[in-house]
Structure 1
């Protein structure tokens, strides 16, 4: 196991640091922009990139790049929602996603407002639909970015820190412990399982705000319950 991991880490580390960091930022830009987040595995790319971090400067460069890439992607989704939202929703890809997902995103935004923007960053499907949905709503961009910026920062900090610490710990003890590779892989797997569990719990607790009657209006990011 150690030999395999050494080879993998050597390959990742051999990539130019600037290029490696840029790839992670671009991956997050694509993941958080319109619909691409449904197919681009941004979290995997970020974790792999973080395993090559070997200095505080590299850590902060990767963290800032991933955050900026995420916010740029979210901003693009918002802008496209403002300009082309209904047409994108009616496009072949939008139709393939299904009207149910769009309606849930609209309902969730209407009922939870800015909080929906924050929480959706950690939920599957919704994290790709909410920026576009917000763009089609009356919520202002400055309120949207105020809610999504801390969510993107928290996400980036968690993934990059875990990848960096796991790889750093492995490099420290890898030559002395023959089972260090299993500890490295186990640490990453445990983190991903915790992330999956948190997403599942969030989805269960928030699903009541996504289902039911048609959504009410959103007034400058303040969710309003639908009138009956």
Structure 2
């Protein structure tokens, strides 16, 4: 068991070293692009932005790398927020009935509207941790006529916290995974694999139910 754990640790070290070798301008640009897509209205549900940012964080090896990753990801996310805000300002509340919002989910729009009515610009920062909702809240803010300064403050706070969470998680995992591989042992890795498999099954079931609910909602909307 100890030998297997050591081999796993060595493999993890090699993988992370190879990932670190890729860190540079191109990887930063890709991280920023995925962060932008994750936040932009209509794109967030299709792009694995958090996964890309997590990988970017795992590729960092120095404090300077982490600082660059945090900044680029935050800027990308903030720019993505601007897409929704500008669309909302231009189209107004009628945007709720558009095909674009139906694609994202009208329920997310309604949740974002309630949050905006209760918390104002703080809803932009708080919704950053809510998948689906965070994609539409900037557009809700624009449609509701939230001032640009308030929008920017909420967006910057939310983008910075989201960037810190996922880049930080990736950087932490980089240091923790090899040690985990050494200490968990074979039984521990079997348990981790079983948990991961169960989580994947649950995720698939939830996604299927959401898709059915979305199709039913679209059918009702088009009647």
Match of 1:51 in 2: 58
Q: Aligned partners of 2:158 and 2:109: how far apart in 1?
A: 21
Quote the Cα distance in structure 1 between the aligned partners of 2:108 and 2:161: 25
Picking from 170, 178, 182, the partner of 1:178 is 182
Q: Please, what is the CA RMSD of the aligned residues?
A: 2.8
Over 6 Å off, 4+ runs: 180-183
Q: Which residue number in structure 1 is paired with residue 210 of structure 2?
A: none
Q: Does the 8 Å CA contact 1:117/1:144 hold for their aligned counterparts?
A: yes
- Tell me which residue corresponds to 1:70: 77
In the TM superposition, 1:121-200 aligns within 5 A as 121-170=128-177, 178-179=182-183
TM-score by length of 2: 0.71
Aligned residue in 2 for 1:105? 112
Identify, as 1 or 2, the structure richer in helix.
Answer: 2
Structure 2 counterparts to residues 212-223 of structure 1, below 5 A: none
Which residues of structure 1 form unaligned runs of 5+?
A: 194-228
CA gap of 1:101–1:168, structure 2 versus 1, over 3 A, is closer
The structural deviation recorded for 1:144 is 0.9
Select 1:9's aligned residue among 16, 29, 34: 16
Q: Is there any run of 5+ residues in structure 2 with no aligned partner, and where? A: 1-7, 200-223
Aligned residues: 183
* Cα separation, 2, equivalents of 1:115 and 1:16: 34
Is the counterpart of residue 60 in structure 1 residue 64 in structure 2?
Answer: no
The answer (yes or no) to whether the contact 1:170–1:180 under 8 Å persists in 2 is no
| 1:41-67 Cα deviation digits (max 9, x unpaired) | 211111111111111211111111011
| 1:36 and 2:40 correspond | no
- TM-score normalised by the chain length of structure 1: 0.69
Output the CA distance in 1 between the equivalents of 2:104 and 2:34.
Answer: 21
